[in-house]
A and B are shown apart, each in its own frame.
Chain A
Amino acid sequence: MKYQKIFILATLLTLCVCFFLAGCGKKKEQAAEVLNYRLKWLFNISVAGDLYADDQGIFESHGLSVAVKSGGPERDAIKELEIGRAQFGVASADQVVRAIDKGAPIVVIAQLFQVNPLQWIFRQNNLAIDSPEDLKNKTIGITYGGNDETIMRALLNKQGSLADKVKLFSVRYDYSPFFTGEVDLWPVYRNAEGIVMAEKLHRQGEAAGFFNPDAFGVRFVANSVITTRRMISEHPETVQKFLEALLQGWQEALDPRNAKQTIDMVSRYDKETSRQIIAKQLDSTRNLMLPPAGKSFGWIDVASWTETERIMLDQKLISSPVGIEKNLQQITFDSSQ
Chain B
Amino acid sequence: MLHKRIWQFLLIYILGLGFLFGLKYLLGLSDYVIPGPMEIYQTARYNSGRYLVDTANTLSVAFVGHLLAILLASLISIIGRLPNLAGAMIKTAAYNLQAYPIVAVAPIIFILLGDGLTSRLLIAAMICYFPLLLSFIGILTTPVPDIEHFYITTKRMRWQLEVKIRAFENITKLTTVIAGSATLAMVGTIIAEFIGADAGIGYSLRISLYQSDIGKVLVALFFIGIFNSLYLATLEGVGYFIQKKLGISREG
Contacts and interface: CB of A to CB of B under 8 A. Distances in A.
Is A bound to B? Answer: yes
Interface of A: 73-74, 76, 78-79, 82-83, 95, 98-99, 101-105, 143-146, 170, 172-174, 176, 317
B212 A83 contact: no
B200 to A, nearest CB: 13
Interface of B: 27, 29-33, 35, 39, 107, 110-111, 115, 195-196, 198, 206-213
Nearest to B23: A83
Contacts of B115: 170, 172, 174
B229 to A, nearest CB: 27
B30 A82 contact: yes
Contact of A82 (B33, B195, B213): B33
Contacts of B196: 172-174
A174 B32 contact: no
A14 to B, nearest CB: 22
Given A79-B32, A105-B30, A172-B198, 18 more contacts: A78-B212, A79-B33, A82-B29, A82-B33, A83-B27, A83-B29, A98-B32, A98-B212, A102-B35, A102-B39, A103-B32, A104-B30, A104-B32, A104-B33, A143-B210, A145-B210, A146-B210, A173-B107
A173 B109 CA distance: 11
Contact of A173 (B31, B32, B195): B195
25 contacts: A73-B209, A74-B209, A79-B32, A79-B33, A82-B30, A82-B32, A82-B33, A83-B27, A83-B29, A98-B32, A98-B211, A98-B213, A101-B32, A102-B32, A102-B35, A104-B33, A145-B210, A170-B115, A172-B115, A172-B196, A173-B110, A174-B107, A174-B111, A174-B115, A176-B111
B211 A317 contact: yes
A88 B213 CA distance: 21
Contacts of B195: 172-173
A74 B212 CA distance: 10
A145 B211 CA distance: 6
Contacts of B206: 145
Identify the 8 closest CB pairs spanning chains A and B, nearest first.
Answer: A145-B207, A145-B210, A102-B31, A103-B30, A102-B32, A104-B32, A99-B32, A104-B30
Contact of A170 (B29, B198, B208): B198
A166 B110 CA distance: 25
Contact of B31 (A73, A103, A317): A103
Contacts of B213: 98
A199 B5 CA distance: 55
A332 B209 CA distance: 35
A173 B176 CA distance: 37
Nearest to B207: A145
Contacts of B208: 145
A99 B212 CA distance: 8
Contacts of A176: 111
B226 to A, nearest CB: 24
- Classify the secondary structure of A's interface with B: loop
B60 to A, nearest CB: 20
Contacts of B39: 102
Contacts of A79: 32-33, 212
A311 B125 CA distance: 42
A144 B206 CA distance: 9
B32 A144 contact: no
A104 B212 CA distance: 12
Contacts of A103: 30-32
Contacts of B111: 173-174, 176
Given A95-B212, A144-B207, A174-B196, A83 B33 contact: yes
A172 B110 contact: yes
A254 to B, nearest CB: 29
A82 B33 CA distance: 8
A288 to B, nearest CB: 22
A79 B30 CA distance: 9
A208 to B, nearest CB: 21
B30 A76 contact: no
Nearest to B27: A83
A83 B34 CA distance: 11
A98 B212 CA distance: 8
A74 B205 CA distance: 12
B151 to A, nearest CB: 43
A43 to B, nearest CB: 20
A10 B195 CA distance: 41
A144 B213 CA distance: 14
Given A76-B212, A145-B211, A174-B196, A99 B30 contact: yes
Contacts of A144: 198, 207
A143 B207 CA distance: 9
A323 to B, nearest CB: 16
A99 to B, nearest CB: 4
A146 B107 CA distance: 19
A153 to B, nearest CB: 14
Nearest to B208: A145
Contacts of A98: 32, 211-213
A273 B211 CA distance: 29
B180 to A, nearest CB: 28
A95 B213 CA distance: 10
Contacts of B30: 82, 99, 102-105
